[in-house]
Amino acid sequence: MVETLFEELKRYVGFEPADGLLLRELHEVVRPRFPAIADVFYARILRHEGASKALAGESQVGQLKVSLLTWMEQLLSGPWDEDYYQARCRIGRMHVRVALPQHYMLGAMNVLRQEFNLLIAEHHAGQPERLRAMSFALGKILDLDLAIMLHTFREDLLAQQARHERLSTFGQLVGSIGHELRNPLGVIETSLFILKGRPLASDERAAKHLARIGEQVALANRIVSDLLDMIRDRPLKRESLRLEAVWKDALSSVHAPAGVSLRAEGLESLPTLEGDPGQIRQVFVNLMENAVQAVGDTGSVRLSASTEPDAVVLVLEDSGPGVSEAIRRRMFEPLITTKSGGIGLGLPLVKRILERHGGSILYDPQGGGGARFVLRLALPPHST
């Protein structure tokens, strides 16, 4: 059987089953001190402007401390299997997403190493051999975690750089082609308007074809507009908005089969946000159109809303087949699509709009199938 990367890394740092037993023993000793260690860890990070900026200052630290407690729990209790490896990989990818320089992560990891070793020394005072063995086991698992996160960070960073290069090329092409297409489309629209006023339009068959031409011209114009929206910074119309009203307005543009239910929960209790209602409406329309097409003739699309201390969280779920593993990591890139006739602009545009509003979107599937998107929008100061 081919050795996995995780198995190779465990062999490289010398992590053995005996180390796992020592770590589980350490877990029982230090678990009550986890909250205090988390306080020390983030106090060190927030002291440095670069790291604090990447983590959005203190606003996200409460949530991140909870994640750190879970990380420490898994670190010392295991099991140290492939699921453990994947969880550590996700941490490396998260560091890329928030643009956290790795030297901050390496330095902060040393804080954890020091805190744990102080507790080991305190608990095993007078037992030098036991202290040494447990400290070595701790060093192995921390080095293993660092190796996994750095490997994933490097992979994702290189992939991100490649995406940026593709997007730059894409933007240059779109800017040129999009504006060139506007002219012939404008001519077609003008000629179509003239033809509709002529006797030819009274012929039922001719009128049907004229209508089809008009529909296709409108579709082509929308595609061009979406392409240009991907590369230009349209000014945001910052104003107060209620997501419930924006959602209801977006529903009027989404045509779902009779067997598909579209429902929302919790929007009425959300506080007022600040942003561009037109662009947030486009977010809802794009996501709902994708979901409706994925569901087919029968199924459901549900939006649920909640609040966190500094953000509104929206979860859009559908009962369709979900997104394949092969597509997930590139689904927010332009021109990546699984839809017949689609060109892959809906999700990239959603991501761009949300990021311009200081928000985010991620694909977070749960057990049971179906697609599940989690959106976050920042709450304005003193929101009500």
Per-residue confidence (pLDDT) for residue 65, from 0 to 100: 77
Determine phi and psi for 199, rounding to 5 degrees. Answer: -55, -30
* Number of domains within the chain: 2
Both 184 and 322 in one domain: the answer is no
The CATH number of whichever domain residue 4 belongs to comes to: 1.10.490.10
Both 202 and 254 in one domain: the answer is no
pLDDT digits (tens, 9 = 90+) for 132-177: 998 999 999 998 888 888 887 777 667 666 666 666 666 666 666 7
Both 182 and 256 in one domain: the answer is no
Residues 310-316 have a mean pLDDT of 89
CB–CB of 275/377 below 8 Å?
yes
DSSP secondary structure, 170-182, as one string: HHHHHHHHHHHHH
Both 204 and 307 in one domain: the answer is no
Percent residues over pLDDT 90 in the chain: 17
Q: Which residue has the higher pLDDT, 289 or 346?
A: 289
Return the closest-CA partner of residue 116 out of 42, 39, 35, 33: 33
58 confidence band (pLDDT: 50, 70, 90): very low
The CATH number of whichever domain residue 341 belongs to comes to: 3.30.565.10
Determine phi and psi for 363, rounding to 5 degrees. Answer: -95, 120
Burial of 197 (0-12, 13-18, 19+ CB in 10 A): exposed
Distances (CA, A) of 35 to 50, 68, 106, 116: 24, 9, 20, 13
Residues 35-56 have a mean pLDDT of 74
Distances (CA, A) of 328 to 98, 226, 375: 19, 21, 16
pLDDT digits (tens, 9 = 90+) for 165-223: 666 666 666 666 766 777 788 888 888 888 787 776 567 788 888 888 888 888 787 77
Return the closest-CA partner of residue 3 out of 80, 77, 82, 75: 82
Both 118 and 181 in one domain: the answer is yes
**Which range of residues forms the domain containing residue 253?**
239-378
Last residue of a domain, one of 178, 213, 232: 232
Secondary structure element (H or E) that encloses residue 274, with its range: strand 273-275
Last residue of a domain, one of 194, 213, 232: 232
Q: Which residue has the higher pLDDT, 218 or 280?
A: 280
pLDDT digits (tens, 9 = 90+) for 77-112: 989 988 888 888 877 776 666 666 667 667 777 888
Average pLDDT value for the chain: 80
Both 221 and 263 in one domain: the answer is no
Distance of CA 249 to the CA centre of its chain: 25
Give this prediction's pTM: 0.51
Last residue of a domain, one of 187, 215, 232: 232
Rg for the chain, CA atoms, rounded: 26
In a domain, residue 384? The reply is no
50 confidence band (pLDDT: 50, 70, 90): low
Per-residue confidence (pLDDT) for residue 334, from 0 to 100: 65
Give 380's contacts (C-beta < 8 A, 6+ positions apart).
272, 273, 274
In a domain, residue 383? The reply is no
CB–CB of 95/153 below 8 Å?
yes
